Chain A
């Protein structure tokens, strides 16, 4: 490994430039520490109790910043749409070789456990670390395992369409019901007592919205991986 030969000068100079900029920025920040900072996290923690959700991060992501989450899953939908348009996989895949016996058996053994863990992370998102995004991606990784091990396996397009449309429509519908009932988009119109904190049925609409986000993310990520894998097997 010859550092001087293998790395271009622009890489080195860019590294040095960004390092010096970061150091200057840190120097300015450390020399001017403002007093009496009001932290937004303290306000959020104070407000969190009124929703009766044990995991404060979930309250911030789904409730206080619920509209941002709607935008995020829209961004993921657009990414999935772009990959689907560019890598149109109407042709059936033909793998060169069948995967071996060990991989097939192990993936059949692991697939239900991965799906179960994904659903657990999704449903308990308001009680423990995790939530819709993580659970959805765990489910998509289980689908990916089956896709690389079984050459005939394919997620049906109609199921993905149904799940994704259902999830997207019900997110907006729940928000609109909140707008009608409480004059507030994504208002928490279901009962959410603080005495129920820590129970599975607590927090009103927050766990429902996180499960919907999980279904949407899971179907979109499954579609992305399936498009990429089928296409790369075709050629």
Chain B
């Protein structure tokens, strides 16, 4: 069962990451990047690294994506 969850999460992360780089709008890419972060949180937690999982959940999936979105807003205004 746990192996199945790991397999599904791994395939999901690769699919989301590939679809993030082929998006046309940058905002969609950032949202999908957030999804990659959430998938890695599950993997880190299963592989018994709760410290890294907490860091990834807070920084990788949370605040860095929001900073990307705000920076994208800046770039959009200058265009």
A130 and B67 contacting across the interface, CB-CB below 8 Å: no
The interface residues of chain A lying within 8 Å CB-to-CB of B24 are: 6
- Cβ proximity bits A200-230 to B, threshold 8 Å, 1 near / 0 not: 0000000000000000000001001100110
B53 contacts partner chain A, Cβ-Cβ < 8 Å: yes
Prevailing SS type, chain B contact patch: helix
Q: A121-B54, A138-B58 are in contact. Are A235 and B77 (CB under 8 A)?
A: yes
How far is the CB of A189 from the nearest CB of chain B, in Å? 26
Q: Are B54 and A134 in contact (CB under 8 A)?
A: yes
Complex Cα–Cα for A121 and B70 (A): 27
CB contact under 8 A between A7 and B54, given known A224-B67, A225-B67? no
Majority secondary structure, A binding face: helix
Which chain A residues in 145-194 approach chain B with CB under 8 Å? none
Please report B residues at the A interface, Cβ cutoff 8 Å. Answer: 21-22, 24, 50-51, 53-55, 58-59, 62-63, 66-67, 70-71, 73-74, 77
Q: Assess the A130–B63 pair: CB atoms within 8 A.
A: no
Determine the residue in chain B with the shortest Cβ distance to A231. B74
Cβ–Cβ contact A228 & B71, under 8 A:
yes
Residue of A nearest to B78 (CB): A235
Which single member of B22, B53, B62, B73 contacts A137 (CB below 8 Å)? B62
Which residues does chain A contribute within 8 Å of B71, judged by CB atoms?
228
**Nearest neighbor of A83 in chain B, beta-carbon distance:** B67
Which of B58, B63, B73, B74 is the most central at the interface, judged by chain A CB atoms within 10 Å of its CB? B58
Taking the complex as formed, is A57 at the interface, i.e. its CB lies under 8 A from any CB of chain B?
yes
Any B CB within 8 A of the CB of A63: no
